[in-house]
Structure 1
Amino acid sequence: MAKLDFHIVNRIRAQVARLGDRAALRHQAAGQWLDISWREFGAQIHQLALALAGQGLKVQDKVAIFSNNMPRWTIADFATLYNRCVTVPIYPTNTPQQAAYILNDADVRVLFVGEQAQHDAALALADDCPQLERIVVMDESVVLADHPLVCHYRDFIDTYAPQADVAVLARRLDEIRMDDLLTLIYTSGTTGTPKGVMLDYANVASQIESHDQKLALDEGDTSLCFLPLSHVFERAWTFYVLHRGGINCYLSDTNQLKTALPAVKPNVMAAVPRVYEKIYSAVHDKVSRAPLHRKVMFTWAVNMGARMALARQECRPPSWLLQKSYNLADKLVLSKLRDLLGGNIKFMPCGGAKLDESIGRFFHAIGINVKLGYGMTETTATVSCWDDQCFNPDSIGMPMPGAEVKIGENNEILVRGPMVMRGYYNMPEETAKNFTADGFLKTGDAGHFDEHGNLFITDRIKELMKTSGGKYIAPQVIEGAIGKDHFIEQIAVIADTRKFVSALIVPCFETLEAHARELNIKYQDRLELIKHTQIIELIEKRVVELQKDLARFEQVKKFTLLPKAFSMDQGELTPTQKLRRKVIQDRYHQQIEEMYEESHKRSPRPH
């Protein structure tokens, strides 16, 4: 394909013309999964694009989308792009203050909102955003406030599409350019002010080209879209699914993932490590309570799967005996584990954070081709990923075609190539600071290559903690080691300027409460449960075991159990589930200080 053929707007228009009545999008309505054809998808984009033109938007004006996942999210996205305008996604969980900052910094003129929560937040911020001309509500069930800026999606189209000059939209589609700005994605940021990452059509096109060389995604394959479309990972993946003629299935409520999987039976699904960790923990929790013969069969089957996966990774054929043993293990156990994900998975892209090696190995052992990738918003997602075969599961894969990756000062991973952002919007100094003199993006991650060209991350430079004894601690490594346990839901490591490593731990209460019932432990509430001696000793024992492979100075010496999970609502997590460490440390200051007081009566002290 010529370069302009990889322009995502041209790709969508080509698929609309070619695939016609075949399914493009799938969504839930009244408990049923319904299809939207390519022809209808194209018609809805065109209608809304006319309305945006009729509203008076000019080329490269900004349009924001503040919503949970739904087909109209993608329709609004492409209607914006058809006008050569710029889409600015906002996380649906953002506060009015966070959303207002983005709207004002990007000079957004039209805001699409999804459900009642985003509608209400938009009303709360409207007076602080003088440039905002229209708030368009996409969910028909939302009760609209009496406000001059607010209207329903259908009313917006009925009012403004007739006012549009059709020739203007046609001309914009004819004049599309690869160097047009496609989107501004504001990094959620674990600290500091959000930065608007500028990505253009050439950035997205380069990722489409490189993924075509690495992935086997076929026309008609279904992808379950449940990560927030406001994040670069799911949005870029949606672009790729549609480019390939796949069916994008929208899940607006991530709490429904467990029931959606057997209904949708996806072939592919982008997921973050936390999803795999939860499935891994749930499976092992169930096995831990199974009869002995089932435990033995599970262990044997996963071992056979692991040996088969190793043969694939090393590009060697399995022995006759291994093949026969694997076939039996697959029939009795492994296929049933794959059914938890719908039973039709071809491969699953994984990104957003580092996946613990043992969890990655487990999924490959049961026959789920997890394709761990490494990237960031600033690189339009993927920089490197695992191949289907001949890869090192301890690594983050090999660089994608077109990505130039090298190791710089302080072992920092540096990236250059057509997928790298143009810069940060309205922040020339911040942009310059994040690039080397020869044009490489500084990722902030430390790593190295092995002799085969596999890339490894060792730690996050910007998040390294230094103990008072001068030892550097990578908290993610410790959190990854301990957090995979099925009794542990969340963990935040504390170490900076401290004499030893401690942690705040949120137990998995579903598992813990079931265990308490088995032990006949009586308690009034969760706070009383986590103070029970047997519960503290259980977690202590597990923490000791889980971190035995860490250096002594990295090991958690004391921990505090918390009765309530870290949440986005409280500002403790970013929308991509990363810890906001400063918020957590401020909120739990007293509990942290108690762990470092010599006089504290009892804190578990794993060695």
Structure 2
Amino acid sequence: MPAATSSAFRSVPDMLRDRVRRSGDGEAFRYPDGDQWRTLTWSQVWERARAIALGLHSLGVRSQQRCGILAGTRMDWILADMGVMCAGGATTTIYPTTTAEGCAYIVADSGSVVVFAEDDAQIAKLREQRANMPELTRVITFDGTPDGDWVLSLADLEARGRELAESEPELFDELVDGVGIDDLATLIYTSGTTGNPKGVRLAQSNWVYVAEAMHETGEMSAEDVQYLWLPLSHVFGKVLQVGQIRTGYLTAVDGRIDRIVDNLAVVRPTFVAGAPRIFEKIYNKVVMQAKEGGELKYKIFRWACAVGLEISRLQQEGKQPGLGLKVQHAIADKLVFSTLREKFGGRLRFFISGSAALAPDIARFFHGAGVLVAEGYGLTETTAASFVNRTNDFRIGTVGQPLPGTEVRIAEDGEVLLRGGGVMRGYHNMPEATAEVISGDGWFHTGDIGELDEAGRLRITDRKKDLIKTSGGKYVAPQSVEGKLKALCPYLSNVVVFGDKRPYCTALVTLDEESIVEWAQANDLAGLSYAELAAHEKAREMVAAAVEDLNATLNRHETIKKFAILPRELTIEHNEVTPSLKIKRKVVADNHVDAIDELYPNTVETI
């Protein structure tokens, strides 16, 4: 395996200790406490991590033993994770939406001996399944009710740690020094579309590599302010946490999705990462607000968008706009785009988009408005950060160039292969599954189909297993079609294209619950439920018009011949989307088999 980006650090705890030495009194985090925002300096973070680590040590946690975190994104999650790693343990991440049975599987399979549980609802899941988690000895709760025995409060754990620190003042540094570069750091269970999830084993070396590689790009500096709302149980959120330790930027943490827009104005971040669905929702809301302003305001908005898109196109081609276009863009910026940027806090340098494909038309809209959405790419198995567009060298529709130390190769069948310091150590307790995806010479098979441009930027065209082959023998990349339709119709939340082994392509679509209410009011349908709107002929006509516009841009075999509007949105609860908002196509197909069958009524048409 080629040498990865070099580092002077042997572990994340070692890196954290160095950050504290460099920036001890500097502000590290902001987090909400009621209606106020509190702060923690790096030195205060270190003190909290030490108390948690020594508290865990007092409970018997030793080198590479797993400690689960079953909670949403919050300051306590980060402190618990730091404490686990400083104790020499490894963090098992568990989404708070996971069922009791799912929690039990992950805790048991990982062999977790301690679990941090957010509140009483999460504790209840663990109590229900306690008999199925034989190695779990203690639960530490952030907001739940301790019982004086099996369940301890986080404050109680830290008190135990501080007591141990007084009696053994050298112990904490000894624990940090004892964490090795090859030690297990994190177990992240991927959301499988079938069967149980697989635990991805990420070592200290994986996190040190991505932290160094991100730092080497120079995209973030110690002066930046990050707003972090992403699920920390997901590798995308976790990598931004580790990157912060290496570079030293301030992070504001709040996992409440309904607070994102309000928080942007308060935190005033310089960069924010998110999944494509977030950018789609922002886009939809902007379009709806323009329409609500009346015909003249919407006409100005559409004109501004056209100007912005032309500016974006020229910049992507390395060209400069003429004087006339520059004047038009200045006017468009004053009337439309500056207001949008103010909603983001007024000093945002860029967004980062990852975890799924971002529709290029959405990216072009933001770019034209003066807000770069830098799309990146990586998997849990590659510690998230493998590719990213640079702010000074980006191409919309690609995920950019590889991070330093990551190699890429395109296989004969188009599959993207990766090798480097980010590649996992394997699937937990699954050597055969590991051998299926990592070759003997270290190449990881991503399962994604892609191509490289002349500058080495990667374009992902689809998942290898998601490619559709119609009964006429034509291949269709569904994600591309889906993204285009969502960009054309701001009232859609999800689009799932079908057509494998079928004579033509069809789509199941869901309406965006927020924007469709506003649409309903404008179309004399106010007061109707989501299901009633989904079944209404006006809604069908609205979607049909967008599908017609879409089809005009596609090859004939890619066109959507028929579609159905589902009576509800796709949800995590129905197992149709992952917590990181990726669509589970097979589950959607299984849950809506009747709707799909109605789109193929005894037809033999072939294209």
- Bin for the TM-score computed over the shorter chain: over 0.9
Residues 308-360 of structure 1: per-residue CA shift (max 9 Å, x gap): 44454444555555545434432332111112222221122111011111111
Which of 259, 272, 276 is the aligned partner of 1:269? 272
- Are 2:10 and 2:181, in contact at CA under 8 Å, matched by a contact in 1? no
Distance 1:100 1:522 in 2: 44
CA gap of 1:411–1:278, structure 2 versus 1, over 3 A, is same
Choose which of 74, 77, 80 in structure 1 pairs with 2:81: 77
User: Are the equivalent residues in 2 in contact too, given 1:500–1:557 (CA < 8 A)?
Assistant: yes
- Equivalent in the alignment of 1:93: 97
Do residues 114 (structure 1) and 115 (structure 2) align? Answer: no
Provide the residue aligned with 2:601 in structure 1. 597
- Structure 1 residues 429 and 328: CA distance shift in structure 2, 3 A: same
Unpaired segments ≥5 residues, structure 2: none
Partner of 2:563: 559
Q: Which residue of 1 is the match for residue 364 of structure 2?
A: 361
1:483 aligns with 2:486: yes
Residue 575 (structure 2) aligns with: 571
| Residue number among 387, 391, 397 corresponding to 1:388 in the alignment | 391
Partners in 2 of 1:408 and 1:320 — Cα distance? Answer: 46
> Which residue of structure 2 lines up, in the alignment, with residue 602 of structure 1?
none
Which residue pairs with 1:157 in the alignment? 158
Which residue among 221, 225, 237 is the counterpart of 1:222? 225
For the pair 1:350 / 2:329, whether they are aligned, the reply is no
Deviation readout 1:340-399 (Å, 9 max, x if unpaired): 222221122111011111111111111112111011111111222212234321222122
Q: Which residue identity does 1:481 align to in structure 2?
A: K
Distance 1:521 1:317 in 2: 46
**Matched position secondary structure for 2:473:** coil
Q: How big is each residue's C-alpha offset from its partner over 1:98-154, in whole Å with a ceiling of 9 and x where there is no partner?
A: 111111111100100113332222222222101001000012xx345x584212111
1:525 aligns with 2:524: no
Match of 1:515 among 507, 516, 519: 519
Cα deviation, residue 587, structure 1: 2.0
Pair 1:10–1:328, CA change in 2 (3 A): farther
Task: Judge which range, 296-305 or 499-508, deviates more.
Answer: 296-305
Structure-2 change in CA distance of 1:80 and 1:550 (3 Å): same
Taking structure 1 as reference, are residues 266 and 115 closer, same or farther at Cα in structure 2, changes over 3 Å only?
farther
CA distance in 2, matches of 1:196, 1:562: 33
CA 326–522 in structure 1, closer or farther in 2 if over 3 Å, else same: closer
The answer for the alignment partner of 2:287 in structure 1 is: 284
Please report how far the alpha carbon of residue 525 of structure 1 lies from its aligned counterpart in structure 2 after TM superposition.
3.4
* Percent identical residues: 34
Q: How far apart are 1:307 and its partner, in Å?
A: 4.2
Cα distance in 1 for partners of 2:217, 2:316 equals 16
Cα distance in structure 1, aligned partners of 2:328 and 2:84: 54
How far 1:468 moved relative to its partner? 3.2
Q: Report the counterpart of residue 376 of structure 2 in structure 1.
A: 373
Q: Is the 8 A contact 1:54 1:162 kept in 2?
A: no
C-alpha distance in 2 between matches for 1:318 and 1:17: 48
Q: Is the 8 A contact 2:75 2:253 kept in 1?
A: yes
2:405 corresponds to = 402
The one-letter amino acid of 1:388's match is T
SS at 1:57 equivalent: coil
1:15 pairs with 2:16: no
**Alpha-carbon distance between aligned partners in 1 of 2:568 and 2:490, rounded to the nearest angstrom:** 17
Q: In the alignment, is the contact (CA less than 8 A) between 1:111 and 1:134 conserved in 2?
A: yes
**Counterparts of 1:178 and 1:434, CA distance in 2:** 23
Secondary structure at 2:301 match in 1? helix
| AA aligned opposite 2:575 | G
Deviation, 1:78, is: 0.8
Query: Who is 2:213 aligned against?
Result: 210
**C-alpha separation in 2, matches of 1:148 and 1:233:** 35
- TM-score of the superposition, structure 1-length normalised? 0.93
Partner of 1:201: 204
Paired with 1:525 and 1:74, the residues of 2 have a C-alpha distance of 40
**Residues 375 and 381 of structure 1 are in contact (CA less than 8 Å); yes or no, is this contact kept in structure 2?**
yes
Residue 60 of structure 1 aligns with which residue?
Answer: 64
How far apart in 1 are the matches of 2:215 and 2:526?
57
Letter in 1 for 2:279: Y
Q: Distance in 2 between matches of 1:521 and 1:303?
A: 31
Matches of 2:255 and 2:390 in 1, distance apart? 31
Q: Is the 8 A contact 1:265 1:343 kept in 2?
A: yes
SS of residue matched to 1:573 = coil
Kept after mapping to 1: 8 A contact 2:51/2:161: no
Distance 1:420 1:363 in 2: 32
Partner of 1:42: 46
The more displaced of 465-474 and 432-441 is 465-474
Pick one of 515, 533, 540 that aligns with 1:536: 540
Aligned mate of 1:468, from 467, 471, 475:
471
Aligned partner of 2:93: which letter?
A: P
Structure 2 CA distance, aligned partners of 1:501 and 1:311?
34
Q: 1:560 to 1:315 in 2, by over 3 A?
A: closer
Give the secondary structure class of the aligned counterpart of 2:413.
helix
Moved more, 113-122 or 161-170: 161-170
**Structure 2 residue aligned with 1:123:** 127
Letter in 1 for 2:422: M
Partner of 1:235: 238
- Residue number in structure 2 paired with 1:441: 444
Q: Deviations over 1:173-222 (max 9, x none)?
A: 22332212211111112233311111112222222222123233222422
Give 1:225 shift: 1.1
Give the drift of 1:68: 0.4
Secondary structure in structure 2 of the residue aligned to 1:224? strand
- Please state how far the C-alpha of 1:251 moved relative to its aligned partner: 1.1
Aligned Cα root-mean-square deviation (Å): 2.4
Of the structure 1 ranges 287-296 and 10-19, higher mean CA displacement relative to structure 2 is found in 287-296
Q: Does 1:105 align with 2:106?
A: no
3-state secondary structure, aligned to 1:239: helix
Query: Deviation at 1:524?
Result: 5.2
Q: What secondary structure, in the 3-state scheme, does the structure 2 residue paired with 1:89 have?
A: strand
Secondary structure class of the residue paired with 1:349: strand
1:451-495: CA deviations, max 9, x gaps?
Answer: 332221122102223333333333222221222321111222232
Q: Say if 2:291 and 2:297, in contact at 8 Å, map to a contact too.
A: no
